[in-house]
């Protein structure tokens, strides 16, 4: 599963803002990839962000479980980094469905 978690930064300390500004080029959307640990991207004004996850589950209701896992990982990451946040939303894409829908 590929899961994208989108949200907005909330309150950010001066230290967090400086970190995000100084590392902005490393978190540009052009560098985004779906990884098991998640890939953070954010906009130039440091308002909107996304984290992209590659999650492998063999359970029933994999979309729901993948979304819950990604939200949990995102919240842990943001708290660990000291980044305030709000409005988390997920988008889940089952790559097996994408590949099976290809013609031929």
Three-state DSSP at 67 gives: helix
CB neighbour list of residue 40: distance below 8 Å, 6 or more residues apart:
27, 49, 50, 51, 77
Closest CA to 52 of 68, 38, 72: 38
Break the chain into its structural domains and give their ranges: 2-99
CA 27 to chain centre: 11
CATH class label, 2-99: alpha beta
Q: What is the pLDDT of residues 53-75, one digit of tens each?
A: 999 877 667 888 999 999 999 99
Confidence (pLDDT) at 62: 82
- Does 20 score more than 90 pLDDT? yes
Closest CA to 6 of 92, 91, 69: 91
């Amino acid at each position: 599963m590929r899961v994208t978690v989108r949200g907005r930064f909330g309150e950010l300390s001066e230290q967090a803002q400086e970190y995000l500004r100084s590392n902005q080029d490393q978190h540009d959307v052009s560098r985004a990839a779906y990884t098991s640990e998640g890939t953070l991207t954010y906009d130039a004004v440091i308002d909107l962000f996304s984290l992209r996850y590659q999650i492998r589950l063999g359970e029933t209701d994999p979309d729901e479980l993948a979304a819950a896992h990604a939200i949990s990982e995102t919240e842990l990451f943001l708290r660990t980094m000291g980044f305030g946040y709000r409005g988390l939303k997920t988008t889940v894409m089952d790559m097996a469905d994408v590949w099976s829908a290809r013609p031929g």
